[in-house]
Structure 1
């Protein structure tokens, strides 16, 4: 086994001897979501680096940090390729249901597309607390996980030919748009992600270049941390705590190991 495979398994708690197949990829996605936090601290603390296989491995698997979508799905991509999956990265445009508009930063969300037995599946471990935790087939079929219901529908928009819809357990009564993507436009190399990172760092309307945010799924729900609040969802019940700088640092270390 090479470095990424060994280190990724060690980080998310999957033994070296366990063969990763399409049938048990759910375990990989759940373990990843509960182990590696979605977080933007490198951007906030002005310590981002050029995205390469080596820098991703160092940050997420050796220094045990988290990342945002283009980092989390990229390291997952490397791991899946090493375990003989046919997978590529795609760029997506996130939908804001509160403002009822597509993200002004454009196609800066990054996810994976896996091809298995002639069928394409969306696989995403970088969408904050909105993770499917299972491969979502690009045929409109609904999949259900501990986090909710998800489906990828072929639907033309200004941003592509598919839209991911979701109905999250903790808050959604109806289907909500997650993001749109073009299934035909795929990354050919990890270095292409540097364009995405540049937009996220510099765009005036980027959601990730102003204040810290951390999210991680748990066995009973999820937890999110910002500079002013700590929110936990446990068995569908929300608990929110207003915090200040000292408490932020304590929670960051205790709950997110950052």
Structure 2
């Protein structure tokens, strides 16, 4: 096993004695979501680095940062592949309810497809507060996880041949579209996601290049930190705190283990 295997296990708190198999994916996805936040601080600084294994290890493991979909699913993909799982990266486009359509940034969501025992699954640890925390079967079977209910629907769109649909715990009374994705055009190399990163960093309609956003999903809910508020969703309900810059830095450290300069 490579250094990445050891480093990623240490980062998420996964024992070296636990084999990486389909059976252990639930644990791996929960640990990854709880320890590596979805955040855009590097994007705000205009990070020019292309995507590759060295950059992701430096960013997420050595600097103890989080990242966006291409960072988080990128390093998880490398870890799963290193451990012998049959995985591919795919591109998708996020549905934006306020726009009643898909993101103007196009196919700027990266996710993972997993083949196991003749079946295909969607795996995603880079979708903000909407993480399934489980592999989602591609055959339409609905799954339930600590964060809600999820399913993959086969349906053609301009952005692919499938949709991820979800009903988030504590948030959604009905099913809604998460994103469309294309299973027919897998990404051959993680470096090929660099253009996606460039678009998210520079596009005028990118939701991630304007204001800080930090998100974490845990087994008992989710939390979102912006420069003006800290919101959490748990069984007890929604709790929102209005904050100032000093409090923002304190919360980033306390709940996301990130030092904000």
State if a TM-score over 0.5 links the two structures.
yes
Aligned counterparts of 1:154 and 1:236: Cα–Cα separation in 2: 35
CA contact (8 A) 2:170 2:234 kept: no
Structure 1 outlier segments of 4+, above 2 Å = 45-48
State the Cα distance separating 1:50 from its structure 2 match: 1.8
CA contact (8 A) 1:216 1:222 kept: yes
Aligned counterparts of 1:79 and 1:236: Cα–Cα separation in 2: 35
1:119-153 per-residue CA deviation (whole Å, 9 max, x = no partner) reads 11100000001001111111111011010000001
State the Cα distance separating 1:200 from its structure 2 match: 0.3
TM-score with structure 2 length normalisation?
Answer: 0.96
Aligned counterparts of 2:144 and 2:233: Cα–Cα separation in 1: 19
Matches of residues 17-96 of structure 1 in structure 2 within 5 Å? 17-96=17-96
CA contact (8 A) 2:30 2:218 kept: no
1:218-241 per-residue CA deviation (whole Å, 9 max, x = no partner) reads 232111100110111222511101
Please, which runs of 5 or more residues in structure 1 have no aligned partner? none
Aligned counterparts of 2:174 and 2:3: Cα–Cα separation in 1: 43
Matches of residues 60-209 of structure 1 in structure 2 within 5 Å? 60-209=60-209
More displaced 10-residue stretch of structure 1: 234-243 or 109-118: 234-243
Residue 249 (structure 1) aligns with: 249
State the Cα distance separating 1:51 from its structure 2 match: 1.2
Aligned counterparts of 1:57 and 1:104: Cα–Cα separation in 2: 30
More displaced 10-residue stretch of structure 1: 218-227 or 4-13: 218-227
Please, which runs of 5 or more residues in structure 2 have no aligned partner? none
1:149-200 per-residue CA deviation (whole Å, 9 max, x = no partner) reads 0000111111111011000011111110000011111110111011001100
TM-score with structure 1 length normalisation?
Answer: 0.98
Aligned counterparts of 1:98 and 1:140: Cα–Cα separation in 2: 26
Secondary structure class of the residue paired with 2:165: strand
CA contact (8 A) 1:42 1:48 kept: no
State the Cα distance separating 1:48 from its structure 2 match: 4.2
Aligned counterparts of 1:205 and 1:123: Cα–Cα separation in 2: 26
Secondary structure class of the residue paired with 2:231: strand
- How many positions carry a matched residue from both structures? 258
Secondary structure class of the residue paired with 2:183: strand
1:44-67 per-residue CA deviation (whole Å, 9 max, x = no partner) reads 123342211101011111211100
Secondary structure class of the residue paired with 1:18: coil
CA contact (8 A) 2:95 2:102 kept: yes
